[in-house]
């Protein structure tokens, strides 16, 4: 985030307000569970973010949306662990099988890999937090193409949003709201 505080980066808009409303009403049990789960893993996960100068709120927001802080979460697509890394993406960032254990499930290792992934996306996507989060959810290749081919430099523009799957359109505000 280039030393900019998270509250200066996030501009609260309609989608983020709607996501906040969801987190605080019908999704509140999920948010509370994610917070409780995170408390058990914080000492393992936070050091990677702290070392990189990334805010803990971003760590929690991603964790809440990705897995709810459940270490053994697995998606229908095969993404696994607290940060829901796909197998091959995990390999690119040093996650894999170590002595028969899939390190995507290791909170410290997955947090380290998550930081590396975000830093790589920040450097290629003009240090834009929303674009980096959209790449994490919707694919880095897709986001590179969208950013390169778009006249708008805002994730929230209709031009950018129209090119994203609904899941990614919703993912970014939910992470930022959490």
Give the model confidence (pLDDT) of 125-153 as tens digits.
999 999 999 999 999 999 999 999 998 88
Please tell me the predicted confidence (pLDDT) of residue 61.
Answer: 98
Pairing between β-strand 97-98 and β-strand 101-102 as defined by DSSP bridges: antiparallel
Q: Read off the pLDDT of residues 72-120 as tens digits, 9 standing for 90 and up.
A: 999 999 999 999 999 999 999 999 999 999 999 999 999 999 999 999 9
Q: How far apart are CA 29 and CA 27, in angstroms?
A: 6
Q: What is the C-alpha to C-alpha distance for residues 86 and 114, in angstroms, rounded to an integer?
A: 12
4-20 tens-digit pLDDT: 788 888 989 999 999 99
Name the H helices within 25-106: 28-52, 56-66, 87-92
Give the integer Cα–Cα distance in Å for 104 and 108.
Answer: 9
**Helix axis angle, 140-149 relative to 107-124, nearest 10°?**
20
E-only strand ranges, the chain:
97-98, 101-102
C-alpha 175 chain-centroid distance:
7
* Residue 66 to residue 63: CA distance in whole angstroms: 5
Residue 1 has pLDDT above 80, yes or no: no
**CB distance 140 to 116 below 8 Å:** no
């Amino acid at each position: 985030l280039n030393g900019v505080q998270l509250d200066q980066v996030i501009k609260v808009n309609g989608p983020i307000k709607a996501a906040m409303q969801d987190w605080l009403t019908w999704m509140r049990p999920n948010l509370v569970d994610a917070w409780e789960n995170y408390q058990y893993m914080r000492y393992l996960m936070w050091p990677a973010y702290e070392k990189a100068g990334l805010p803990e709120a971003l760590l929690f927001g991603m964790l809440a949306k990705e897995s709810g802080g459940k270490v053994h979460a697995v998606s229908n697509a095969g993404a696994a662990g607290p940060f829901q890394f796909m197998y091959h993406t995990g390999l690119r960032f040093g996650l894999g099988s170590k002595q028969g254990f899939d390190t995507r499930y290791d909170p410290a290792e997955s947090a380290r890999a998550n930081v590396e992934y975000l830093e790589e996306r920040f450097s290629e996507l003009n240090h834009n937090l929303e674009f980096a989060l959209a790449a994490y959810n919707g694919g880095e290749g897709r986001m590179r193409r969208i950013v390169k081919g778009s006249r708008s430099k805002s994730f929230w523009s209709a031009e950018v949003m129209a090119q994203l799957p609904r899941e990614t359109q919703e993912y970014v505000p939910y992470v930022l709201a959490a």
